[in-house]
Amino acid sequence: MKRWHWAGMLMLLALVLSGCATVPGTTTDTVGGRQVEFVLAGQGAPVVVFENGLGATLDWWSKVWPDAMAESRSLAYHRAGYGHSDASAQPRDGAHVVEELRALLQARNLPPPYVLVGHSLGGLYMQLFARKHPSEVAALVLVDSTHPDQVKGAGNPEHWPTWLKVVFRATTSDTAKQELAALDATGNQVSNLPVDPSVPVWVLSALRATGAPSALADDANRKRADIAHLYPGSTQVWVDSGHGIPLEKPEAVVGAVREAVRAARASRDAQKAQ
């Protein structure tokens, strides 16, 4: 049962996405000498920026997108090596991912501060963005985010059972493998920077993400609960969902995004009134 549960964790969304809607209106632009695929829609500030998880496409946000773009201007994109975005010769650690995203936002003349929304590994990248460039961030929404210490201890891929390593190698792209290989470095990049307490944070955590007890599942659950502790004053919401919250419980993501956008606007208006 454990084996099939964790295999499902790796393949669930690939199966679900084969029958789900896509995010319409994608286009490409040349940024830093590479083609980058993205979708930009909606009106108003702040701009809401979505970051996908490991191996995921922007279609993970297909059930969230209509409400998000109705709330404010929104951007979702494919990192280097995904979709129609060219691969990058740069390392696939968070520091490079964050700067590539900032280059896209600047190329599209999308001014900060942003509401950053990241799922899974995308949440770790958005944590790094917020810590490196806090003046550019209005709010942070972490959707069952990867923990900075995710691959330390029992979560280290070296400790994965053989069958899980085989499934991962067989079902993921070279880019995803490079991102996983750089995950410890990315986590260290996050941990080595302070948290700006002025940036409001929403933490959505999955209640049904790991299934049968195991050392790996217990470790993942401890780290899932600890995410909110990294951000004192954050709002943590436990969602009755598996890891794929954007597809399983999109209303939870929409609700957090809506709260983050409205909080950002209230803060902006308060500053103008001073």
Spatial distance between the Cα atoms of 78 and 60, rounded to a whole number of angstroms: 11
Spatial distance between the Cα atoms of 90 and 157, rounded to a whole number of angstroms: 23
Compute, in degrees rounded to 10, the torsion defined by CA atoms 197, 245, 172, 34.
-60
The full length of the chain comes to 274
pLDDT in tens, 187-196: 999 999 999 9
Pairing of strands 137-143, 114-119: parallel
Domain 2-17+25-273 fold: Rossmann fold (3.40.50)
Task: Judge whether 245 and 252 are in contact, CB under 8 Å.
Answer: yes
Instruction: Classify residue 232 as exposed, middle or buried by CB count within 10 Å of its CB (0-12, 13-18, 19+).
Output: exposed
Query: Residue 163 has what pLDDT?
Result: 77
Query: Residue 161 has what pLDDT?
Result: 76
Query: Residue 220 has what pLDDT?
Result: 85
Query: Residue 212 has what pLDDT?
Result: 56
Query: Residue 271 has what pLDDT?
Result: 86
pLDDT in tens, 105-163: 999 999 999 999 999 999 999 999 999 999 999 999 999 999 999 999 877 878 777 77
Query: Residue 18 has what pLDDT?
Result: 41
Spatial distance between the Cα atoms of 27 and 19, rounded to a whole number of angstroms: 22
Spatial distance between the Cα atoms of 257 and 115, rounded to a whole number of angstroms: 8
Provide the strand spans (E) within the chain: 27-31, 34-41, 48-51, 74-77, 114-119, 137-143, 201-206, 235-239
In the predicted model, residues of the chain with pLDDT beneath 50 are 1-19
Which helix (H) or strand (E) segment holds residue 268: the answer is: helix 250-273
